[in-house]
Chain A
Amino acid sequence: MSGANGVNGQTSQQSHGGTLSLTLRIWRQDGPDAPGRFHTFDAPNISEDMSFLELLDIINERLIEGGDVPIEFDHDCREGICGMCSLMINGRAHGHELATTTCQLHMRKFSDGDVITVEPFRAKAFPVVRDLVVDRSSFDRIIEAGGYISVNTGAVGDANQTPVPKQAADTSMDAAACIGCGACVAACPNSAAQLFTSAKLAHLNLIPQGQPQRWERTEAMVETMEQFFGSCTNHGECTEACPKEISLDFIAFMNRDYVKAKIKNRKLSGQS
């Protein structure tokens, strides 16, 4: 950390103006089936106040000026809420800052002279599209399987028509904080998507609105997840990598609900 001010260095006006000289090793791959390799880029005069994505913007501008093809990477809101940015930075999903997305990772968290390795998220279900861009549509398949509630349309219901217990609402919101970025899968040594799926299940399964489809949803989403991802061995790497700090407890909740769902769905369909 090279910020001159120890106190609240992130917002301190005095820390502006510092620059870093960095070396980046960035994964480049022309297409899904093309072999990839690391390219090394020198990045002098990088402002400490840039985000990591702005650093990549600068490198890309320099590449374009030199007539080269810019590095492709995913990004959208750049304020840490869309889940579009990704990147393994020095072996950590979204970099070494806890509870931070790549777009919110600032260069002041690095030191002058650092060599930074940037790779795409890796999993069989996240094929590389190009360079640092991976296809995370397998997450969409999981959501499609049951990450919704069905309600009748019509006149707007009365406010507070459905009472939601405060604790359930709070825990449900903790789960709903998941932005679906895929850092959990990237960080998982097993490429399991348990943290994502359990968060998406919990945020509906905990509240009254989610109850009618609870067991159907649980079975469908888990089984769709299992078409794509590995098996959880309870390392806990996912929750550490998660920019939204989704708790491992949701995985336990999903595990319990899944076996229950197998029994309940039989009962509900009159098989026992």
Chain B
Amino acid sequence: MAPTATQAAGSAPVFKSKRPLPFPLNIYQSAIGRKWVMAWTGIGLLGFVIVHMIGNLHLYEGPSRMYEYAETLRELGGGLLPRTLLLWIMRVGLLAMFVVHLHSAYTLKERSRLASERAGFVGGAKKYASKRDYIAANYASRTMRWTGPIVGLYVLFHLADLTWGWWLGDAYVRGDPYHNVVESLSSIPVAIIYVVANVALAVHIFHGTWSMFQSLGVNNPRYNGLRRNLATALAGVVLVGNLSFPVLVQAGLVDEDNRDCPVNDTTGLECLEAEAEAH
């Protein structure tokens, strides 16, 4: 800008430019490109969240339908592909998106932290002495860096709980998701964790959905107003769907009182299989 009273040392670059990687990896080297990747992985993860939530609604159809749904996932690809191959490909893809989403989020956060060091101060994030009077930034946008890690830790908890059955012990029956879900969510602390994490997930989705349009440059004055509505709708649907599981199990509306099949991984699964066949 215009000359200042006493010229400072000038503003030297805060970040060193890196040696460019070959195309298209160089896109990921820039912050804007990285946001772009973050948006695409976000879309993929959001797609998973929505499909996962809708699929889980089979819980309300009873143990055999839930069993049938889980089996269908393993049988994806029909007779063309080996059993669970397509499921594993999807799992690996999901994991890759998760890792890239996390890496981009963390590195961009670090970039902003370094760029915000107070001039004349050492360390510390950007703060003003006066209380910041945020106008546009909302709770969701300011807490992405907290809701993200909460969801990340929850995903690990969720896998350990229902996929690996770490603490359900003998009560965990591999291949009987209805029983496992009901067993797990009947515990009040577990239900609380699910509720808290899914609220965090919905808050994350609320800002993420709007933000991805901006990051990808999907912008049209005619439709821009709809982006917030879409964000609210998606966050709302995911919130209501996912919260219904712990809430209804705790309320006693989803239970195993009317279950016909025994709970074990031999005769129990055979019985569920037979019931599913009969549908």
Contacts and interface: CB of A to CB of B under 8 A. Distances in A.
Interface of A: 25, 27, 29, 31-36, 38, 72, 74, 76, 82-84, 88, 90-92, 96, 117, 119-120, 122-130, 133-141, 180, 182, 189-192, 222-223, 226-237, 239-241, 248-249, 251-259, 262, 266, 271-272
Given A129-B8, A135-B8, A234-B211, A192 B126 contact: no
Contacts of B216: 252, 255-256
Contacts, number: 219
A36 B128 CA distance: 13
Interface stretch (B27-35, B79-87, B155-163, B263-271): B27-35
B129 A119 contact: yes
A129 B5 contact: yes
Nearest to B16: A227
A222 B15 contact: no
Nearest to A92: B133
B120 A32 contact: yes
A74 B4 contact: yes
Given A91-B132, A180-B1, A234-B211, A256 B219 contact: yes
B258 interface: no
Contacts of B119: 32, 120, 122-124, 126-128, 134
Contacts of A74: 1-2, 4
Majority secondary structure, A binding face: loop
Interface-centre pick from A122, A180, A232, A234 (highest chain B CB count, 10 A): A234
Q: How large is the interface on B (under 10, 10 to 19, 20 to 34, 35 or more residues)?
A: 35 or more
A90 B133 contact: yes
A123 B115 contact: yes
30 contacts: A32-B9, A82-B2, A91-B130, A123-B126, A124-B119, A125-B11, A126-B119, A127-B11, A128-B8, A129-B5, A136-B1, A140-B1, A189-B142, A191-B112, A192-B115, A222-B30, A226-B30, A230-B111, A231-B111, A234-B214, A235-B134, A235-B142, A237-B136, A248-B214, A249-B221, A252-B218, A255-B36, A255-B216, A259-B217, A262-B24
B26 to A, nearest CB: 7
A123 B111 CA distance: 12
Given A117-B129, A133-B5, A235 B141 contact: yes
Interface of B: 1-2, 4-11, 13-17, 23-24, 26-27, 30-36, 108-109, 111-120, 126-137, 141-142, 144, 207, 210-211, 213-219, 221, 224
A230 B116 contact: yes
Contacts of A262: 23-24, 26-27, 33
Majority secondary structure, B binding face: loop
Given A252-B218, A266-B23, A90 B126 contact: no
Contact of A233 (B1, B33, B141): B141
B38 to A, nearest CB: 10
Nearest to B118: A122
A128 B4 CA distance: 11
Nearest to B211: A234
B33 A259 contact: yes
